[in-house]
Chains A and B, each alone.
Chain A
């Protein structure tokens, strides 16, 4: 689709010949900053979340970390893991709690002067790799390495897969696809 993009670009350039820019007023509806919580969890690391403060679209500069929040993770059985602030916006589990595959976790954060936030997520099961085959092939006289990876895709659910290949000195390939 590069072609179309090219033409749209071409069009924008043509219009740009006429076009001109000017600054206009933006009367933002007044809104207080909100808590922003980001968390990746895997079953090989302890719980760790980041908490920031959102900024108005008109404010520039880096995001501010939010210390002093009360943050806790709970699973569907009602077990609660409190998290503790360790600086640079990070809250971690000092009990060294590790997330489990398949469990439903809810994270909750409260802090004075902010609205409470909660979110729920679960970790999908590990992708079962059935086989990895590699072969050397020739392409126009140049050697190429070909890899074939077979893995098990659960039949009844839709998943995004990201394939990341690390070779010794070579770069990383990534590819996303919905199966």
Chain B
């Protein structure tokens, strides 16, 4: 490690030695809102040298003393060309205007860094502007569901927001909200994600060729950056939909210095249904309150101390809760009986981040971060029976609760070093302090006489662990054709009885065949120290996060990818990639085990195995113009192999999907009307079905009449049957209108427009003399309407 740091310092110094060079540095932001532009391009045409802004909108470009025409551009914004006489270091903080605002201008296709120029591969930036137009289930815009429309990413079941990237599981995605990992990204059992897209500025998905700065998960990084809040004036957006209503308010606390954004969302079905439930229950002589809701709140404050120093505070709080209270009362023979039952199921995330950006010099940018993240799940029940006799009363109380959680404190520091246009160096280190509570049961029982009272809790003990990491990477330009990103990510996991360390080399590069076409290749190793114990096929909150222990080894993966990227007629970005990925130390529950039985010995209830995934992905994307969108196609194979599952034979992963097609079209009909159409097709999920049946041993025990007819189903092999294929068309249209107070939009559309009966699960049914296989489909055509406003 020491040698490495030394070599690194020498390298940086050497690069700095070249004389008479000056640096242009600064921030690029949106002229209207002051929101930072991420990944915008800064480019000198005459030297063919350039750079891009980082996730905080900062850039630095060092060039020999001369006069330059520097082009500043970003997708969807009018480019600006500045003539700079570079005789000293220059600081330029520039604001670009959104091309939509410039109706009178002829806006030419402006490009950020084009796809074939980047050394990074297997990475896609989500066009946030399209997200609001792409139709969605019940009109609830959802960033994770847009990510599911990209090649290499599979959705889980119908309507759910789980992500399965290149054959990986849903626990292998590093979902970062402003740099803070979010452990459970689902609301309502996975039908909606926790991210409110009104508060999001930028989203990037990385499926392979991971830069060294990311680590801790095997399959993907979803880097979500929240908006910073309008620096210029106060604005708001909001919507009223079928599922939830939301409101976002943003504006300057001190103009051009401090901004605030607060965004909230809540469902209200429970509030509407409460009187109905109450009334229905009354008819049966019961007092009942029951419902389900979720809410989330995003807030962020951004303060600029100076051009060189900025502070961000951001938080996310979200919760899902289902509750039911029943109270029964009746009188009989001078005795009153009161019976009360309360049940509660809740889960949610809390994250908080404090970040401090400091421009240390024209070429060095630093970011210091402290974050907190907690995911908690709890279920509880209270039963209280009381009996009142004329002269005495007694009762019985029963309380049960189950709780599990994971909690992280993280500190890290990152540096961006841009010595010259041929190098972009990132280094950093940090530590995550994890606290795992994999499941605690608490029982309380009071029967009236103290003698038999029970008050106890049992379950897995808390586990504390440190996850350390350090990384270094350099994006190196070698000549005009070759660009390579070389990096190393180190991570270590230390808990009380075990420690693991891992060095993960990362390399990716591109070779430009001509201005528009390049070939890319990458290799990345990843390690993951935390695991998700899950036996549900939908995103149930009971999924349990557990650490690596002396028995449970960290998960590892190796992925190699080869591809080609091309821009055709400056309009279409085409990328084709092939990948091969291997994974080790994957976990599954033992046959028959489930979270109900997970107590102190959860690590005895799991099996270890390996997996692989390989395939090819095609993405054709159009980002500019009236019609935008993409076509994605994935051809892939994904397998798992566990010594003690499926007789040790390899079997297809549940989400092994041979063909996966997505088609997304967003069209601007005129200034006020836009529409979106999506169509998806996927090979059916792999499921395990019984092939034959035989009488159980109990059936032979003919004295036991009740078990005489018990059948045992025989399963030949895991996941050996394919559900029917999945396909669906969604359509949506938005009508905008300017009002005195701002702008309103009516959105209409339909999910599953041709009402395809897609399989959700399968089961056998005996209809007298015949057994048939039936499928249950979830959503037929589901129309939606949403009213949204902007002021």
> In chain B, what residue has the closest Cβ to A49?
B700
User: Given contacts A18-B780, A19-B778, is CB(A4)–CB(B345) below 8 Å?
Assistant: yes
A58 touches B774 (CB 8 A): no
B699 on interface, CB distance cutoff 8 Å: yes
B381 touches A2 (CB 8 A): yes
Docked CA distance A97–B689 (Å): 41
Contacts of B322 in A (CB 8 A): 7, 10
B281 on interface, CB distance cutoff 8 Å: no
Least CB distance, B698 to chain A, in whole angstroms = 8
A1 touches B402 (CB 8 A): yes
8 Å CB interface, B268-299 against A: 292
Q: Mark A56-67, 1 if CB is under 8 A from B, else 0.
A: 111111010000
Contacts of A56 in B (CB 8 A): 691-693
Least CB distance, B442 to chain A, in whole angstroms = 13
B691 touches A52 (CB 8 A): no
A74 on interface, CB distance cutoff 8 Å: no
A22 touches B774 (CB 8 A): yes
B694 touches A21 (CB 8 A): no
Least CB distance, B159 to chain A, in whole angstroms = 9
Docked CA distance A4–B344 (Å): 9
Least CB distance, A158 to chain B, in whole angstroms = 12
Interface size on A, residues (CB 8 A): 43
B769 touches A57 (CB 8 A): no
User: Given contacts A38-B699, A54-B692, is CB(A59)–CB(B345) below 8 Å?
Assistant: no
A57 touches B775 (CB 8 A): no
User: Given contacts A20-B757, A21-B774, is CB(A57)–CB(B716) below 8 Å?
Assistant: no
User: Given contacts A31-B691, A31-B716, is CB(A20)–CB(B777) below 8 Å?
Assistant: yes
Least CB distance, A134 to chain B, in whole angstroms = 17
Which residue in B344, B714, B716, B771 is a CB contact (below 8 Å) of A59?
A: B771
Q: Mark B758-791, 1 if CB is under 8 A from A, else 0.
A: 0110101010111111111111101000000000
8 Å CB interface, A1-54 against B: 1-4, 6-8, 10-11, 15, 18-26, 28-29, 31, 33-34, 36, 38-40, 49-50, 52, 54
> In chain A, what residue has the closest Cβ to B684?
A24
User: Given contacts A25-B773, A28-B691, A60-B766, is CB(A18)–CB(B782) below 8 Å?
Assistant: yes
B754 on interface, CB distance cutoff 8 Å: no
Docked CA distance A33–B693 (Å): 10
> In chain A, what residue has the closest Cβ to B763?
A21
Docked CA distance A57–B771 (Å): 7
Least CB distance, A147 to chain B, in whole angstroms = 15
User: Given contacts A29-B691, A39-B700, A140-B448, is CB(A21)–CB(B379) below 8 Å?
Assistant: no
B692 touches A60 (CB 8 A): no
A169 on interface, CB distance cutoff 8 Å: no
Docked CA distance A25–B724 (Å): 9
Which are the 9 A-B pairs with shortest beta-carbon distances? A26-B773, A50-B700, A36-B694, A38-B700, A54-B694, A3-B343, A3-B381, A38-B697, A57-B690
Interface residues of chain B, those whose CB is within 8 Å of chain A, are 189, 292, 322, 324, 343-345, 379-381, 394, 400, 402, 447-449, 452, 540, 542, 596, 689-697, 699-701, 713-714, 716, 720-721, 724, 757, 759-760, 762, 764, 766, 768-780, 782
Interface residues of chain A, those whose CB is within 8 Å of chain B, are 1-4, 6-8, 10-11, 15, 18-26, 28-29, 31, 33-34, 36, 38-40, 49-50, 52, 54-61, 63, 89, 139-140
- Taking A2-B381, A40-B700, A54-B694 as known contacts, 12 extra A-B pairs with beta carbons closer than 8 A to each other, sorted by chain A number, are A3-B343, A10-B322, A18-B779, A23-B772, A36-B694, A56-B693, A57-B689, A57-B690, A57-B691, A57-B692, A60-B769, A139-B449
A-B contact pairs, 30 of them (CB 8 A): A1-B402, A3-B344, A3-B380, A3-B381, A3-B400, A4-B379, A10-B322, A18-B780, A19-B760, A20-B757, A20-B780, A21-B777, A23-B775, A24-B773, A25-B773, A29-B716, A31-B691, A40-B700, A50-B695, A54-B693, A55-B693, A55-B694, A57-B690, A57-B693, A57-B713, A58-B771, A60-B766, A60-B770, A89-B700, A139-B447
